[in-house]
Amino acid sequence: MTVVVPIGNAKPAPAVQPERVGVLLVNLGTPDTADTRGIRVYLKEFLSDPRVIEDQGLLWKLILNGIILRVRPRRKVRDYQKIWNTERNESPLKTITRAQSEKLAASIADHDHVVVDWAMRYGNPSMRSRIEALTAQGCDRILVVPLYPQYSAATSATVCDEAFRVLSGMRAQPTLRVTPPYYEDPDYIEALAVSINAHLATLPFQPELIVASFHGMPQKYVDKGDPYQAQCVATTEALRKRMGLDATKLLLTFQSRFGFDEWLQPYTDKTIEKLAKDGVKRIAVVTPGFSADCLETLEEIAEENAEIFKHNGGEQFAAIPCLNDSEPGMDVIRQLVLRELQGWI
């Protein structure tokens, strides 16, 4: 038998860990608590990202720290408390994203070397903590899945930024893949249509039209080359074709504008107000840009915009749930992940 004697202080080489593949679902983020402090911490991280607010100069820092972080958290406490999952003491976005991760893991359990996890771009669980957890479990390859059907620099790109920022501090980096946007993927469009029709069938009324509301962004971001608006248009056109609706029966709008810049139009709230004033009595609103229900869908659409509609003469308003962890929604995520894992599993 040959005996290998270490020379000097040399240490034996560490054993190579078994190769595993990580899948990390990533959504936007949420406060940890539905109180002023939790919302302030979340907003500071979110609004300090130059992908979200591109001009991070002195004026913006003064506005952010001197006005927004002093005033907005107090205003948003009630909104978050309306939708908060009190049983788990967390936001619905966190509850749903966890469920999506668990259901994805169960659906691909036959690939026993794949580890599925989830994270938030802002807030917790952080991308850093989950990427480090995956590598600690022996994942030398990680597929990052931004849960945004449409790409924008303020969502998908900043997920990539953070992933590579985490990797920049690692000596032994995992190989990274990122799923592409799926804004007109046939599975996604089919899931939207099936989900919308299923929900409409449960309503006690027939909507005169459907409003497809996407999260907005400053017009200047699109003018600089962001493809987000074009991808929202493509989603809406594909959904119209699948459902047999024209542009008068399935409208495209943008919500959640912030600040004083011009944002993508038409605005959701202004459109809904005008529809009611023009005599439309029954509408449904769907939010195809969100993969999971959150403050913007459960409070802004289902409550604020419903109130706008009824205050201006509308009578019946339905907010259609996001795909969430429904069977059609999970089929979209599963097919996307399995396609992008080809060659790894």
Query: Has residue 149 been placed in a domain?
Result: no
Query: Has residue 51 been placed in a domain?
Result: no
Query: Has residue 295 been placed in a domain?
Result: yes
- The answer to whether residue 15 scores a pLDDT higher than 80 is no
Percentage of the chain lying above the pLDDT 90 cut: 93
pLDDT at residue 19 in the model: 84
Q: Which of 119-128, 253-262, 268-277, 304-313 has the lowest mean pLDDT?
A: 253-262
CATH of the domain at 228: 3.40.50.1400
Task: Say how far apart CA 134 and CA 226 lie, in whole Å.
Answer: 31
Query: Has residue 148 been placed in a domain?
Result: no
Q: What is the pLDDT of residues 168-186, one digit of tens each?
A: 999 999 999 999 999 999 9
Query: Has residue 331 been placed in a domain?
Result: no
Reported as a pLDDT band with limits 50, 70 and 90, residue 264 is very high
pTM: 0.93
Q: Which domain holds residue 217?
A: 186-319
Query: Has residue 257 been placed in a domain?
Result: yes
Query: Has residue 345 been placed in a domain?
Result: no
Our measurement of the distance from residue 87's CA atom to the centroid of its chain's CA atoms, rounded to an integer in Å, reads: 23
> Which is it for the CA torsion 236, 156, 76, 270, positive or negative?
negative
Query: Has residue 284 been placed in a domain?
Result: yes
> Which is it for the CA torsion 173, 154, 182, 223, positive or negative?
negative
Angle among Cα 188, 193, 194 to the nearest 5 degrees reads: 95
- The answer to whether residue 14 scores a pLDDT higher than 70 is no
- Give the closest residue to 159 by CA, choosing from 46, 334, 27: 27
Count of domains for the chain = 1
Q: Which of 3-17, 102-116, 288-302, 307-321 has the lowest mean pLDDT?
A: 3-17
